[in-house]
Chain A
Amino acid sequence: MIELQNVSKIYDLGEIKVTGLDDISFSCEEGEMISIMGPSGSGKSTMMNILGCLDRPTSGTYLLDGDNVSKLSDDQLARVRNKKLGFVFQSYNLLPKIDALANVELPLIYSGQDHRHERASKALEAVGIAQRANHLPAEMSGGEKQRVAIARALINDPRVILADEPTGNLDTATSHSIMDLLTDLNKKGITVVIVTHEEDIATYTQRTIYVRDGKITEEKRR
């Protein structure tokens, strides 16, 4: 499903060049649930950005679902993000001025699809938050917001969900319920990649990759 082949990311800051990723190769099978761990500055965010098609590698190849996406244009990447990927962020990243339902509908608008209300309602139902459909993000708890974000990530039936510290702003109980939800989705066949620095979150996943200084230092299977 996901395959990085000798991927490097070098940031050119004029006089100095900063290496974000240094010749990383790794793959993730369809239906797998993995976690990426590492201290800040390790390159795990850079890795997440490349996996999420928000950025392109300086060199190397990224195969997503069999397609080489490492050389696509901005608009082509936008298309891939819309169709194949779902994002879950630490800070939820919901639009503050529209309600939960409208937030979930957004990806459908950009892919130009119909029956948006119905589909968004179903997605909210699927993550167990249908009763909050017409509430603004500000009127919801962190856990509820993250569920809305997951519904939004699911709306276009993505192959992969990328979660960047999905429980970073949540208390322990809520964190576990969100992880349970992601585990459920994984059981339904969606590949899940989670970036985290909490070991007990990583234990939910089948495999953990440790990143340091832009390199994969360790891989642990459970």
Chain B
Amino acid sequence: MSLWETIKSAWQSIFANKMRSSLTMLGIVIGVCAVVLLVSIGQGFQTSMTTTFNNMGASALYVSGSRSKTVTIVRPLTMDDAEALTNKKLAPSISVVSPSMQSNVTVQYGTNSATVQASGVTPVVTQIKNYQIDKGRFLTDLDGENKLSVIVLGYQTTQDLFGTESPIGKYVRVAGGKFQVIGTLQKLGGMGGDSYILMPLATMQARITGGTDLQQIAVKASSSDLVDLAIAEITAILRARHYIATGAADDFQITDMRETLTSMQSTLQTFSLFMGAVGAISLVVGGIGIMNIMLVSVTERTREIGIRKAIGARRRDILLQFLIEAAALSLTGGLVGLLLAVGGAALMGHITLGSLSVKPEISGTIVLIALSVSVATGLLSGTYPAFNAARLDPIESLRHE
């Protein structure tokens, strides 16, 4: 019997028992759907995370006030601290120092308003973060020196406030004060979102937060192998400036983005593995379901097997018939599961939770794996029943009612 004939007759048999076949497939459908969807979400998450980190400046060190509860006195970071880090003699391994101050503000234009994060920054911020001018211009040193009330809008904020209108040169209200829009930025994507505004650091301190304190200093090492040295230099300089006694804890903290990225990636990998295991369990359960039904089917069709043997079917013809039937059942389940996963992924791509939007990515590899795993499950669980069928004695089988 040719393989094609066997496949055809397997289909006939599956279709002859629609209800039973669909219920049997359900385990595989759920298993494949779960595996594909979860892996795709993991993949989408990974991509989104990588984008985010690249935008944030994955090679940067972030210095901020210590949040440790054991440190009782925390001197805020100041412009002078930032200035000190630029000293080439004390900090030869540091190439970029980008101080910043953040505050949540309400921005209004006409009847439109949005609550966004305002960052006071200096022009060097572009060497840390991936800000790309869309229209107009970016902030300059001169803007800061003159404490000009100018702002640059993030992509989403531009959309929210102005829609299709051109924002350049327009005046908006930020925390009650009047600011002129001098530029808009391109979409960043990732998890950070695009709802933010930028203004000169000096303007921010003068008009919104007051004082000369900083929230954060982003620092970039001259090269990637000087990061550890840069951390040591920052620590030495800030400890001296903050009068921290030998042995006492730092009153600031330095976050290495690469470490954060690595730890997040490993968390994500564990998550993916766990989800994969959940899916795998349901595939195993599905496989057992198929084996069960195939065993029932062999018993029910004992007479059919006897007839087929009487008219010339060999052992391997019968074996193949039941194996292919199990595989076809399982593969069909796999295809249905895959379709559901594709549909689910498309649906999820449209859902945004706050600034978090993850687009699941279904790769060719996972599709291939899912389908071959479902065929393998079918073959595996079909083997025992198929051997039982092939072994049947034709005389006994023909007598079977």
Contacts and interface: CB of A to CB of B under 8 A. Distances in A.
Q: Is the pairing of A and B real?
A: yes
Interface of A: 49, 52, 54-55, 74-75, 78-79, 81-83, 87, 89, 93-95, 97-98, 106-107, 109-112, 152, 156
B303 to A, nearest CB: 7
B313 A78 contact: yes
Given A54-B395, A110-B317, A112-B2, A82 B303 contact: no
Interface of B: 1-2, 5, 12-13, 16, 303-304, 306-317, 394-395, 398
Contacts of A87: 310-311
Most B CB atoms within 10 A — which of A49, A82, A152? A82
B311 A89 contact: no
Given A112-B1, A112-B2, A97 B314 contact: no
Q: Is the interface of B mostly helix, strand, loop or mixed?
A: helix
B312 A110 contact: yes
Contact of A54 (B310, B313, B314): B310
Contacts of A110: 1, 308, 311-314, 317
Most A CB atoms within 10 A — which of B12, B310, B313? B310
Contacts of B311: 81-82, 87, 106-107, 110, 152
A78 B312 CA distance: 5
B312 A75 contact: no
A98 B317 contact: no
Contacts of A82: 311-312
Contact of A74 (B5, B308, B310, B315): B315
Given A93-B303, A93-B307, A112-B1, A54 B394 contact: yes
B395 A95 contact: no
B312 A111 contact: yes
Given A54-B394, A93-B398, A97-B16, A78 B2 contact: no
A78 to B, nearest CB: 5
A94 B306 CA distance: 11
Contacts of A79: 312, 314
The 8 tightest CB contacts between A and B, nearest first, are A82-B312, A110-B312, A75-B314, A78-B314, A107-B311, A93-B307, A54-B394, A97-B16
28 contacts: A49-B395, A52-B310, A54-B395, A55-B395, A75-B314, A75-B315, A78-B309, A78-B314, A78-B315, A81-B309, A81-B312, A83-B312, A87-B310, A87-B311, A89-B398, A93-B307, A93-B310, A97-B13, A98-B12, A106-B308, A106-B311, A109-B1, A109-B2, A110-B308, A110-B312, A110-B314, A111-B312, A112-B1
A81 B315 CA distance: 13
B36 to A, nearest CB: 34
A82 B394 CA distance: 13
Contacts of B303: 93
Contact of B5 (A89, A107, A109): A109
Nearest to B5: A109
Given A93-B398, A110-B312, A111-B312, 8 more contacts: A54-B310, A78-B313, A97-B13, A106-B311, A109-B2, A110-B1, A110-B313, A112-B1
B341 to A, nearest CB: 33
A78 B311 CA distance: 7
A54 B396 CA distance: 10
A81 B304 contact: no
A15 to B, nearest CB: 21
B400 to A, nearest CB: 11
Contacts of B16: 97
B229 to A, nearest CB: 77
Contacts of B13: 97
Given A54-B395, A110-B317, A95 B310 contact: no
A49 B399 CA distance: 12
Nearest to A155: B311
Contacts of A81: 309-312
Nearest to B2: A112
Most B CB atoms within 10 A — which of A93, A106, A109, A152? A109
Contacts of A54: 309-310, 394-395, 398
Contacts of B304: 95
Contacts of A109: 1-2, 5
A152 B310 CA distance: 12
A113 to B, nearest CB: 10
A124 to B, nearest CB: 16
Nearest to B396: A54
B100 to A, nearest CB: 75
Nearest to A107: B311
Contacts of B1: 109-110, 112
A76 B1 CA distance: 15
Contact of A97 (B12, B313, B315, B316): B12
A76 to B, nearest CB: 9
Contacts of B310: 52, 54, 81, 87, 93
A150 to B, nearest CB: 13
